[in-house]
């Protein structure tokens, strides 16, 4: 069964509180979004595969570790872009695939408007980046679009998650782990996470 890993760090809690605050400016929102994403990415990559290597320091031979370059980042447009930039800085060699999904404001059902994945996902470790896991529809659609057959593992990195979305995801894809900073109370009547932080994409891109 997929796990829900609640990432817990004082700096993360601090920045998440600023993201939640309705009085936070776009500039502050972007800065703290990057901080939160950095910490989340570090945690989500804790168990990625590493290989032992023999190298020489200027003084002596030593055994070290190098990560296997099998990570594929999949930001869900738009809001996932906010997590791609910090992730790219930490994993500069990672391949990147994109999917564009937009929830209908009335039905909350996501519509796909863009998709471009690396051709060969065989044996890759995919990290889906989407700050909000609400109904889970966008995440489930992303995983379906990835055609999971030969992928080694898929994990989702979501800053705030709703219990309803986690349940739906694990009904459909029981093996997918979710890294999140918070599991909130519930979804409201228009499928927004409560207390949540509002519309992440609008707040990050200043389109409110
Ligand atoms: C939001 C959010 C997630 C999705 C979560 O995106 O960024 O992608 O909704 O909702 P779900 O779990 O119910 O599918 P939105 O569709 O508002 O698009 P945006 O990123 O362009 O703002």
Ligand 1 pocket mutation, candidates 19, 29, 112, 134, criterion most atoms within 8 A of CB = 134
How close is the Cα of 110 to the center of ligand 1, in Å?
8
Per-residue pLDDT of the chain (208 residues; tens, 9 = 90+): 789 999 999 999 999 999 999 999 999 999 999 999 999 999 999 988 899 999 999 999 999 999 999 999 999 999 999 999 999 999 999 999 999 999 998 999 999 999 999 999 999 999 999 999 999 999 999 999 998 789 999 999 999 999 999 999 999 999 999 999 999 999 999 999 999 999 999 999 999 7
pLDDT of residue 207: 95
pLDDT of residue 88: 95
For ligand 1, atom 21, the nearest C-alpha belongs to: 78
Residue 30 known to be catalytic: no
Ligand 1 pocket mutation, candidates 74, 110, 136, criterion most atoms within 8 A of CB = 110
Residue 202 known to be catalytic: yes
**Beta carbons within 10 angstroms of residue 89's beta carbon:** 12
How close is the Cα of 132 to the center of ligand 1, in Å?
6
Q: CA-to-CA distance for 5 and 181, rounded, in angstroms?
A: 8
Residue 20 known to be catalytic: no
For the chain, the distance separating the N- and C-terminal CA atoms, rounded to the nearest angstrom, is 38
pLDDT of residue 78: 95
How close is the Cα of 130 to the center of ligand 1, in Å?
8
Q: Which atom of ligand 1 is nearest to the CA of 205?
A: 22
Q: Map out the domains of the chain as residue ranges.
A: 4-48+67-205
pLDDT of residue 208: 75
Q: CA-to-CA distance for 24 and 32, rounded, in angstroms?
A: 10
pLDDT of residue 184: 98
* Residue closest to 96 by CA, chosen among 139, 126, 141, 66: 126
Exposure letters 53-70 (e unless 16+ CB within 10 A, then b)? eeeeeeeeeeeeeeeeeb
pLDDT of residue 2: 84
Residue 45 known to be catalytic: no
Fold of 4-48+67-205: Rossmann fold (3.40.50)
pLDDT of residue 116: 96
Q: Which of 104, 107, 175, 207 is catalytic?
A: 107
Q: Which atom of ligand 1 is nearest to the CA of 101?
A: 16
pLDDT of residue 1: 76
In sequence order, the 6+-apart residues with CB closer than 8 A to the CB of 26 are 203, 204, 206
pLDDT of residue 126: 97
* Residue closest to 165 by CA, chosen among 145, 128, 193: 193
Residue that is written with structure tokens 């679009």 in the block: 145
Q: CA-to-CA distance for 13 and 22, rounded, in angstroms?
A: 16
How close is the Cα of 197 to the center of ligand 1, in Å?
13
In sequence order, the 6+-apart residues with CB closer than 8 A to the CB of 147 are 121
pLDDT of residue 17: 98
């Amino acid at each position: 069964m997929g796990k829900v890993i609640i990432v817990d760090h004082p700096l993360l809690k601090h920045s998440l509180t600023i993201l939640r605050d309705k009085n936070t400016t776009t500039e502050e929102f972007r800065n703290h979004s990057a901080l939160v994403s950095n910490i989340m990415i570090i945690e989500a990559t804790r168990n990625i595969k590493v290989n032992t290597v023999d190298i020489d320091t200027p003084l002596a031979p030593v055994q070290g570790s190098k990560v296997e370059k099998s990570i594929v980042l999949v930001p869900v447009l738009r809001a996932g872009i906010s997590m791609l930039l910090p992730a790219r800085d930490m994993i500069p060699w990672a391949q990147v695939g994109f999917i564009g999904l937009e929830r209908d404001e009335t039905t909350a059902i996501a519509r796909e408007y863009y998709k471009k994945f690396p051709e060969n996902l065989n044996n890759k470790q995919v990290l889906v980046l989407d700050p909000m896991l609400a109904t889970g529809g966008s995440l489930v659609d992303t995983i379906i679009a990835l055609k999971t057959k030969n992928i080694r593992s898929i994990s989702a990195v979501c800053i705030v998650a709703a219990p309803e979305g986690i349940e739906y995801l694990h009904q459909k894809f029981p093996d997918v782990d979710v890294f999140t900073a918070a599991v909130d109370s519930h979804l409201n009547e228009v499928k927004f996470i409560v207390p949540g932080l509002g519309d992440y994409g609008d707040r990050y891109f200043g389109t409110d």
